[in-house]
Copies of this chain bind each other. A is one copy, B any other.
Amino acid sequence: MHLLDHLLRRLIRSGSLAVTWPDGRRSLYQGSTPGGRHSAVRLKSRAAAWRLMLNPELAAGETYMDGDLVIEEGDIRQLLDLILYNMRWERGNPARRLVGGKRHWLTRLREANGRARARRNVAHHYDLSDRLYQLFLDADRQYSCAYFLDTANDLDTAQEDKKAHIAAKLLLQPGQRVLDIGCGWGGMALYLNRVADVDVLGITLSDEQLAVCRKRAAEAGVADRVRFEKRDYRELTGTFDRIVSVGMFEHVGRPNYPSYFETIAERLDPAGVALVHTIGRADGPGETDPWTRKYIFPGGYCPALSEIMPVVEQTGLWATDIEILRLHYAHTLERWYDRVQASQREIEALYDARFFRMWSFYLASAITAFRHGGHCNFQTQLPPRRDTVPLTRRYMERTEDRYRAEPQWLEAAE
């Protein structure tokens, strides 16, 4: 216990944490700066305490899932918020140098997502029960960072606004051929066809997603214009006027960055525009934490711009705009977390209590990564030519507002 005690004493500089040890003793860790954050936890076994000491990044999630780390005041979200606030990355936090991403040559191997492994990784996460995603995502099932014009906006509004925001950056013209790499449950593809009268091919590696996508296109009566296929991005042929890829680059893995951007460059018409939306890191390169990699996203990696830009530059594509979205994903994840909590009984029935705790931990730790860690989202606009997009960015807001005013989406979102 001694080492864990020492670690917590050093760590908690703001707020307070009460710990009940396996032998019944209680410790209170209190920061010198007064802060509202407070949590109380109980460790049920000496084994759990040892695991936390030896490998806190992996064991925090595992002991919580296993029920050996019990939250006695607050919830997992508040506990992680307290811990990660004290470890926050930003300049000005005296402890920020303690954190830092560890790097290991082996880790790149874990991201060598060939086609077979890419399929397995996708199945691990996206072939989970359809019902689970229905329970916590918005009506259109957007499983990526929403866009909050106002933090009071509800999730459905913010996800619609995200689609409008991205669509505006694509500079769409009626009849254009659009490729959606990593199309999820088809929401973006259907949206682009609806607001901009374009033809879309969406590709996914998930059987569950593909079935939902095709059903939705058929129901909307646009199956001839919005097609979906189970296809690896490296297996495409032909060219497209526009390429959009939202929340997919996180699964690509560093060894495949060149082939990802080469694919975009090769599949894009010279007068085309691509828009890549991905989770990223403002704090520089760093591994995905071992718990997330093991239980949530095998093969995943969130890039820093210092890792994306060398590849883009060599591809000969222009990066004509880079928007760095901060906190939008925290707001999104907080809404997902709340929905998961509200559906506890149904999720436990669907899987079990351990799965519910796992899913809660996943979303709670993701919130802290965006609130206190270096996580953010990058939207990078990538045309092959410098003069394809207008000289200034003013068209973005105008086009976005035009799409937002479209009446169609209100019906479609139901």
Contacts and interface: CB of A to CB of B under 8 A. Distances in A.
Contact of A393 (B284, B323, B385): B323
A320 B324 contact: yes
Interface in A350-388: 376, 384-387
A29 interface: no
Contact of A391 (B148, B281, B386, B392): B148
A338 interface: no
Interface in A273-310: 281-285, 304-306, 309-310
Interface stretch (A16-24, A70-78, A87-95, A403-411): A87-95
A91 B317 contact: yes
B309 A320 contact: no
A48 to B, nearest CB: 33
A147 B285 CA distance: 33
A327 B386 CA distance: 8
Q: Is the interface of A mostly helix, strand, loop or mixed?
A: loop
B270 A92 contact: yes
Contacts of A386: 90, 282, 326-327, 376
A346 interface: no
A393 B392 CA distance: 13
Contacts of A91: 265, 270, 315-317, 384-385
A318 interface: yes
B320 A326 contact: yes
A58 interface: no
Contacts of A265: 91
A222 interface: no
Given A310-B306, A328-B391, A92 B384 contact: yes
A394 B397 CA distance: 7
A326 B318 contact: yes
Nearest to A313: B284
A322 interface: yes
A319 interface: yes
A235 to B, nearest CB: 21
A327 B90 contact: no
A232 interface: no
A392 B322 contact: no
A310 B281 CA distance: 11
Nearest to A389: B326
Contacts of A319: 282, 305, 324
A245 to B, nearest CB: 18
Contact of A305 (B151, B282, B305, B315): B305
A149 interface: yes
A32 interface: no
Of A282, A320, A384, A387, chain B has the most CB atoms within 10 Å of the CB of A282
A327 B284 contact: no
Contacts of A317: 91
Contacts of A316: 89-92, 96, 283
Nearest to A401: B394
B315 A306 contact: no
A314 interface: yes
Interface in A247-265: 265
A321 interface: yes
B318 A90 contact: yes
Contacts of A391: 148-149, 151, 326-328
Contacts of A321: 322-324
9 contacts: A90-B316, A91-B385, A92-B316, A283-B316, A305-B309, A305-B319, A306-B313, A309-B309, A327-B391
